[in-house]
Amino acid sequence: MALRSRTSPRGKGRLEAFSDGVFAIAITLLVLEIAVPHVAGRRLLEELLRQRSSYVAYFLAFMTIGSAWIAHSALTEAVDHVDAVFQRLNLLLLLLVGFLPFPTAVMSEYMSLVEREGGGEKVAVVFFGIVLLLISLVLFLLVRYAERECLFVADAKEEQAEDNRVRYQMLPSIVFYSVAIICGLLWPYLAVGLYILIGVFLLLPIRTLARWLRRGD
């Protein structure tokens, strides 16, 4: 049986507002890493196509922050209050989310350099993947901590919904990201493909789709 939190309960309103602000800023900063080409008009299309690695990196990071925001929103809506430890774990999550534009820019730069000079793309892809893995891991820890310290609302359905989300999406994503990072040490483009698949998986409303399929049957 879970024990009651030993730290003082605190309202969650300010935590939600601050977190949403960090998510919004981080996801906005991503597009700033896509440079505007300064070339003659006839070469503009060529230059835009040459930045395809930037588009892929932006898409991946956007999906990651978006799925993390969805998961974080569901979690904060499900808890009744927060405590000091939850706040600090939440800050760790925001630290990683706010940091994500940097490894995104690194991966974009070195994936484009490999076409011209080569080198560095494996480190860049693995670096990016490690940050994605840490974001999923901290989200997982937040949910487990909230469950252990009885921070969820009294309605058991809310807690069960969070437990199902962790079991069906968050925990598998940690495993898949670990596999993708290992692949990145050998085949960076395969790792990028796996990152895309994991991002899509995290954004899909798995339980909603399952209910639709059951209704169809």
Q: Where are the domains of the chain?
A: 13-216
Among 2-11, 101-110, 124-133, the minimum mean pLDDT is found in 2-11
Q: Is the pLDDT of residue 2 over 50?
A: no
pLDDT digits (tens, 9 = 90+) for 117-162: 556 888 999 999 999 999 999 999 998 898 888 888 766 555 556 5
- The two tokens of residue 202 are 């995290």
pTM above 0.95, yes or no: no
| Selected residue with higher pLDDT from 34 and 173 | 173
Give SS3 for 118: coil
**What does each C-alpha distance from 183 to 35, 134, 198, 204 come to in angstroms?**
29, 17, 14, 24
